[in-house]
Amino acid sequence: MILREISINKIRVGFIGAGFIADTLANALLKLKEYSSIEAVYSREIEKAKHFAKRFGVEKIYSSWRDLINDNEIEAIVVATPTYTHKEIAVEAAKRGKHVFLEKPISLNIQDAREIVREAEKNHIKLFVGHCLRYWPEYVRVKELVSRGEIGEPRVARAYRLGSYPTWSLWYRYREFSGGVVIDLAIHDIDFLRWVMGSVKRVYGVGGRFSRYSIDVIDHAMYILEFENGAVAYGEASWAMPQKFGFTTYLEIAGTKGLLTVDNKSTASVHEYYNDSSSSYSPLYHDAYYNELKAFLRWILFNESVAISPEDAVESLRIALAVTKSIEKREAIDLGVEAA
């Protein structure tokens, strides 16, 4: 492991990946200049890397991600690459003493996920997996309301995440590269519901391949999560909607004293319903990408706590893998037994 002092109040960041999510995260980092600077970028397509560098004022362009993580001036990396590349990049970065912001999911299987976590712990680096719902203001508001007992005991939840096929990259079409819609898309809601409602003990899923773009992945899934505390949640995730269908999300949590809803078609508002009152909350401040990157940087600089641990990312992947297994085996999967 390479040990060195962290620059005072400013982290030098390198980007591995220069696609859509990298652009989104880089735009957020530009608003965090008091904490960081973007110093380097790598992409498999050098023209993409050059375009990224021009847009974000980056001086160093690498044709090898290994060269980037061997750059002693880089203190943290953002891994915004396809899921099947996560393990190799994150493990090597940890060995070089780089802090890692890793896009979700952490990996495609539990063995790789645990290896990433072990290397992070062994080399004393911060590993932050970008489960962004833990930082979306309206979802954070829901978590706060449930934690305060405003809706009583949460008993039933519903979560939808529906969109057309991500045709911009071929790797989504293959299970060995993307894992399918549950692992890539439903995992957002799985992670959030587990955060809010507790440990999951059993899952059941149905689904299949409905889009002409799929090769061997499940592209539409419906699933039930049964929690240790007796609560239940129904979820649905899809890449099989028509290409002109706008990306749609919905969350509903019903408790013994009230109901909370969130959807992305109503200016990201939270709606609260009680026996004697109702109200709505519409956040107008920074989005999740800004919030999660700020948390990551302040974790490095000031050791402030964050809303997502590496172990959380591993467990959310374990549940998503169990849902996928349930769909394939057509039976409920008990999470008390190793499901992945």
What domain range is 228 assigned to? 134-285+316-334
pLDDT at 284: 54
**For residue 246, what are its two tokens?**
């706008």
Is 35 within a domain?
Answer: yes
Residue 164 sits in the same domain as residue 178: yes
Name the CA dihedral angle for 24, 25, 27, 32, rounded to a multiple of 10 degrees: 160
Computed over every residue of the chain, the mean pLDDT equals 93
For 111, residues 6+ apart whose C-beta sits below 8 A from its C-beta are none
pLDDT for residue 256 is more than 90 = yes
pLDDT at 5: 47
CATH number at residue 85: 3.40.50.720
| 8 A C-beta contact, residue 22 and residue 45 | no
Count the domains in the chain. Answer: 2
Q: What's the pLDDT tens digit per position in 261-318?
A: 998 876 556 778 887 887 776 665 579 999 999 999 999 999 999 999 999 999 999 9
Residue 111 sits in the same domain as residue 181: no
Higher-confidence position of 278 and 43: 43
Q: What's the pLDDT tens digit per position in 148-178?
A: 999 999 999 999 999 999 998 999 999 999 9
Residue 178 sits in the same domain as residue 276: yes
Residue 145 sits in the same domain as residue 205: yes
CATH number at residue 178: 3.30.360.10
pLDDT at 7: 46
> What is the C-alpha to C-alpha distance for residues 26 and 32, in angstroms, rounded to an integer?
10
Residue 204 sits in the same domain as residue 239: yes
Mean pLDDT to the nearest integer, 31-37: 96
